[in-house]
Chains A and B, each alone.
Chain A
Amino acid sequence: QVQLVESGGGVVQPGTSLRLSCAASGFSFSDFGMHWVRQGPGKGLEWVAVIWYDGSKRFYGDSVRDRFTISRDNYKNTVYLEANSLRAEDTAVYYCARDDGIGATHIDHWGQGALLTVSS
């Protein structure tokens, strides 16, 4: 079955950087787009970024564009989110999620999430 396991969360100071990873298994990783979605404390879902199945296209939400970078390694079945210039408002649970197509179809599977806390 599809499994998505996030790692790399933790507590960091404002202005610093962090890389989240998501290890995928149970499906042909290189055939599917991958998303990152976050959820701040007590808040709704906020889409962060998507990368196409082959890495050819990447799109970002307004609040993270120019600070976050999504990437993938189709040999390691892993998707990454490099988060720079972190702010308190980036504090959230970050979910890795699979697109049911190349990248802009719909999300059909979610990981359990990784908590990132940005605090001094």
Chain B
Amino acid sequence: QSVLTQPPSVSAAPGQKVTISCSGSNSNIGNNYVSWYLQLPGTAPKLLIYDNNKRPSRIPDRFSGSKSGTSATLDITGLQTGDEADYYCGTWDSSLTSWVFGGGTKLTVL
């Protein structure tokens, strides 16, 4: 069982918006920054969002992140078939003194 909880799967139609949630506790999300990672099939993960809501320069503004209390959210607007991938949230856990990932969410663009 992952320390951070994500829905196993989400789906939406092309052009629509989807939200992926990530739930944790005070020792992780509640007191540390959250980052999000995208993993296309058969490839290494790559950074999508860091420090809760910042995007690396190469990431389009269709991707956005937010955090409230012990939960974080990744929003993807204007869905494209190329967005089909697994998405992971991650953060440092101060009690465990370890990095923790969510279990991952598989996005299907119908």
Taking beta carbons and an 8 Å cutoff, which residues of A are in contact with B? 35, 37, 44-47, 50, 59-62, 95, 100, 104-113
Q: Is the CB of B92 within 8 A of A104?
A: yes
Q: Is the CB of B90 within 8 A of A107?
A: yes
Count contacts between A and B, CB distance < 8 Å: 60
| Ranked 6 nearest A-B pairs via Cβ | A106-B35, A44-B104, A47-B99, A110-B44, A104-B92, A45-B101
Q: Is the CB of A107 within 8 A of B88?
A: no
Q: List chain B residues, Cβ under 8 A from A107.
A: 35, 37, 45, 47, 90, 99
User: Which residue of chain A is the closest to B32 with respect to CB atoms?
Assistant: A104
Known: A106-B35, A107-B35, A107-B90. A47 touches B44 (CB 8 A): no
Q: Is the CB of B99 within 8 A of A110?
A: no
Contact of B68 with A by CB under 8 A: no
Looking at B45, B47, B97, B99, which has the most chain A CB atoms within 10 Å of its CB?
B99
| Number of chain B residues close to chain A: CB under 8 A | 25
Taking beta carbons and an 8 Å cutoff, which residues of B are in contact with A? 2, 33, 35, 37, 39, 44-47, 50-51, 56, 86, 88, 90, 92, 96-104
Known: A44-B103, A45-B45, A95-B45. A106 touches B97 (CB 8 A): no
How far does the alpha carbon of A27 sit from the alpha carbon of B88 in the complex, in Å? 26
How far does the alpha carbon of A62 sit from the alpha carbon of B37 in the complex, in Å? 22
Q: List chain B residues, Cβ under 8 A from A106.
A: 33, 35, 47, 50-51, 90
